[in-house]
Amino acid sequence: MTIPDIPAPDPNPRRPIRSLPKNACDCHAHIFGPASRYSYHPDRGYTPPNASVEAYQHMLSVLGFDRAVLVQPSVYGTDNKRLIDGLLQAREQHLDWRGVAVLDPGVTDDEIAHLHALGVRGIRINLLFPGGVDFNAITTLSERIEPWGWHVQCLIDVSDFHDLSGTLDRLPLPKVIDHMGHIPVFKGVNHPGFQHLLNRIDGGDTWVKLSGPNRMTARVRSPYCDVDPFASALISRNADRCVFGTDWPHVKLPNTMPNDGDLVDELLRLVEDDTTLEKILVHNPTQLYGF
C-alpha cells in the first residue's frame, strides 16, 4: 500500500475577495492517484494523497476559474498516463484544459501528435524534486517539439543555478519559469539570478508563473508580504509575460497548507487594475497555451 507522506489540500476553498474575469486560467496544478491505477516513480521525492479531477474542478469553480493547465508532476516521471486521463476526462466534461508533459527522449512523433491533440502545449524540466527530466534530455527534444509551438517549463531556483543564461539559451523554444523563479526571499530582488529572470521576460522569450509565494516566503501564512517585491518587479517589468497558477494541491510545502482563496487574493492584492489582471489571467494564457 502506498501511504502519503505529505498533507492533502484544504478541501474547502473560499471565494476570492473579488470576482475573476471570464475565461480566467489557473496555469499550474497537478492531479494524483489512485496509486493502484497510476504507479509512482520509485525514486520520487514525496508520496502525495489522491488529488482528483473532481476535487480540482470543485476548487476551480469556487474560485472562478474557467480554464486550467495540468502539469505533469515529478512523482510520475515520464509516465504521462495520469495527465492524459485527466485531459480526457476534462474533454468529456467539456472543460477547457491544457497540459504540460514530461517526455522521454525516445518518445515517438505519433505520441507527440497524440499529446498535442489532447491539449499538451509544453514539456517540463524539474530540477528540484527527484523523478524529473534534466536539461540535457530536454535539449534533444527541443527540435522535435518546436514545430508544434510548444514551450519548455522549468522548475528551478534561479538563484542557485550555474550558467542559467547559457543553459536556457540552448533551448530554441519559449521558456516558462515556475513559481517566480523559486528564489528564497532572503536573497532579495537584486540577486543576479532574479535580475536575469527579469531581463529574460523583458526580452520576450521567457514567461513566468506568478505562483508559489508560499514556497518563497519566510512567513508561516498569508499574506506573504515579503514576496511582494518579487511579484511586483515581474509584473512591472513585463506583465505581458506573466501568468498565474494556484499550484494545487501544493506538494512538498516548506510551511503550512494554504487555502486556495488566499493564494488568489495574493494576486488580487497586488494587481488592482482590471486591465492588467485580465491580461495575466486571460489573454496571456490564451497566447501561451493556445486556448
| Interval 126-142: pLDDT, tens | 765 444 555 666 777 88
Distances (CA, A) of 95 to 14, 26, 142, 160: 21, 13, 29, 38
Kindly state the cell numbers that stand for 227: 514576496
205 is catalytic: no
- Please report which confidence band the pLDDT of residue 255 belongs to, taking 50, 70 and 90 as the band edges: confident
Is domain 25-289 given the CATH code 3.20.20.140 in the classification?
yes
Q: Strand, helix or coil at 105?
A: coil
pLDDT at 230 over 60: yes
Prediction pTM value: 0.95
Catalytic entry in 247, 260, 262, 265: 247
The pLDDT of residue 135: 64
- Beta-carbon count within 10 A of 54 CB: 11
For residue 270, with 0-12 CB atoms within 10 Å meaning exposed, 13-18 middle and 19 or more buried, which class applies? Answer: middle
- Share the mean pLDDT of the chain: 93
The pLDDT of residue 222: 94
Domain boundaries along the sequence of the chain: 25-289
The pLDDT of residue 161: 72
| Interval 59-107: pLDDT, tens | 999 999 999 999 999 999 999 999 999 999 999 999 999 999 999 888 9
Least confident of 3-17, 28-42, 132-146, 270-284: 132-146
pLDDT at 240 over 70: yes
| Interval 154-191: pLDDT, tens | 888 998 877 777 778 888 889 999 999 999 999 999 99
Pairwise CA distance, residues 108 & 224, whole Å: 43
Pairwise CA distance, residues 127 & 45, whole Å: 11
